[in-house]
Amino acid sequence: MTEAYVALEGGHVLEGRGRASGTARGELVFTTAYTGYEESLTDPSYEEQVLTFSYPLIGNYGVREERFESDRVHPRAVLAKELTEDVAEWLESEDVPAVDHIDTRDVVTDIRDGGAMKCGIAVGEDVTEEDALAELEQCKAMSDHTDIGAQVSVDEPVVHGEDNDGETVALIDCGAKGSIVDSLIERDATVHVFPYNATVDDVAAVEPDVLFISNGPGDPVNFEQAITLVEEFVEDTPVAGICLGQQIVAEALGGSTEKMDFGHRGVNQPVLDLESGQVVMTTQNHGYTVAEPGEHLEVTQINVNDDTPEGIDGVEYDVITRQYHPEANPGPEDTLDFFDDVLAMASGRADSRAVPADD
């Protein structure tokens, strides 16, 4: 008989139904997304986390590789109310433990009350509560994964869209979602994807029109080399960033970041553009936020629910960043024009102010 245990920080142990076996540990977070489980599970930003789906049925439209954001599943383990056979088999084949028949309402309430927390998971024929507790015991805080970039980044530079005629983008891969690269190539850009620890010389060699810092897992302060790149390039080269990228840009330019209690993860996070007064719906996955933008950056968009910075613009430099995921996989697609704005900034065709288009 397959046993399945989830040990939460503080020692409380939940029992569920084992759907994919193994042991794991990570930071327990939840997403409210009701669609896009293929995209979430392959999003490198979930590295070292255990993902709880608050939507009760996950897997009802199958598993299709064309929806994947990277070449593997990144959460260390998955919790849900009900996982379909398709998803359970996929997770088993990826060696990612999965537990369902969990009361995810309780788990989400615990995370909302206590913040993202450590957890340990044990699923298998002969596992016990103690195995889950032993995993919990070894679980590190997210900020203690100091070289997490190495787990998710390319090892060597890769070029996409080599024959395109548009702007040259240097994308620093801190755990980039594939659809960010796709969104740029579709707009005729040539994208040089660099490892998270690329040097100034590596990047300068391709003479980029824009330095673009990707999304990625963990604490932005641990991406020291990407922070250095922004500091070195910003005076002469436009800079863009998504999610972790926004946080790295803020750290580089005199701002600061902080950990949120339980973050924003879902596909219906409302964002207000302060200049136009327009609200857009966004896809999000983050647990840190920009606390202070600093004197070189200005907050241009905020989250309607909690006022946290969602869009940032350079005061004197060409900089635009987003905390949400404008590449919008799985959607909603209100924010795709961010990529047009970034490439216009890169080509000098526009000032850096990015306002969602009026419909």
Contact residue for ligand GLN among 21, 179, 215, 222 (CB under 6 A): 215
> Site for ligand GLN (CB under 6 A): how many residues?
11
State the amino acid at position 298 in one-letter form: E
Which one is catalytic: 82, 135, 243, 310?
243
CB of 97 to ligand GLN, least distance (A): 22
Length of the chain: 359
State the amino acid at position 305 in one-letter form: N
CB of 326 to ligand GLN, least distance (A): 12
Residue 142 is encoded by which pair of tokens? 């997210």
**Closest Cα partner for 41 from 94, 106, 111?**
94
Dihedral (CA of 345, 351, 354, 357) sign: negative
216 touches ligand GLN by CB under 6 A: yes
What burial letters (b/e) apply to 156-194, b meaning 16+ CB within 10 Å? Answer: ebeebbeebebbbbbbbbbbbbbbbbbbbbebebbbbbb
Q: 239-268 mask for ligand GLN (x: CB under 6 A)?
A: ----xx------------------------
CB of 207 to ligand GLN, least distance (A): 27
243 tagged catalytic:
yes
- The rounded Cα 344 to chain-centroid distance in angstroms is 24
Cβ within 8 Å of residue 3, ≥6 positions away: 15, 18, 122, 123, 124, 125, 126, 127, 128
Residues 273, 357: Cα–Cα separation, whole Å: 11
312 touches ligand GLN by CB under 6 A: no
Contact residue for ligand GLN among 149, 195, 255, 287 (CB under 6 A): 287
Residue 218 annotated as part of some ligand binding site: yes
12 tagged catalytic:
no
Q: For ligand GLN, which stretch binds (CB under 6 A), given 30-38, 98-106, 151-159, 215-223?
A: 215-223
Cα distances (Å, whole numbers) of residue 216 to 9, 235, 303, 304: 24, 24, 20, 23
- Could you tell me whether strands 49-53 and 22-31 are parallel, antiparallel, or unpaired per DSSP bridges? parallel
139 tagged catalytic:
no
State the amino acid at position 356 in one-letter form: P
What burial letters (b/e) apply to 229-244, b meaning 16+ CB within 10 Å? Answer: bbebbbeebbbbbbbb
Residue 287 annotated as part of some ligand binding site: yes
Closest to ligand GLN by CB, 19 or 265: 265
Residue 294 annotated as part of some ligand binding site: no
Q: For ligand GLN, which stretch binds (CB under 6 A), given 84-92, 212-220, 221-229, 341-349?
A: 212-220
CB of 325 to ligand GLN, least distance (A): 7
212 touches ligand GLN by CB under 6 A: no
Q: 162-201 mask for ligand GLN (x: CB under 6 A)?
A: ----------------------------------------
Residues flagged as binding site for L-glutamine: 45, 216, 218, 244, 247, 285, 287-288
Residues forming the active site: 243, 325, 327
Which residues form the interface with ligand GLN (CB under 6 A)? 45, 215-218, 243-244, 285-288
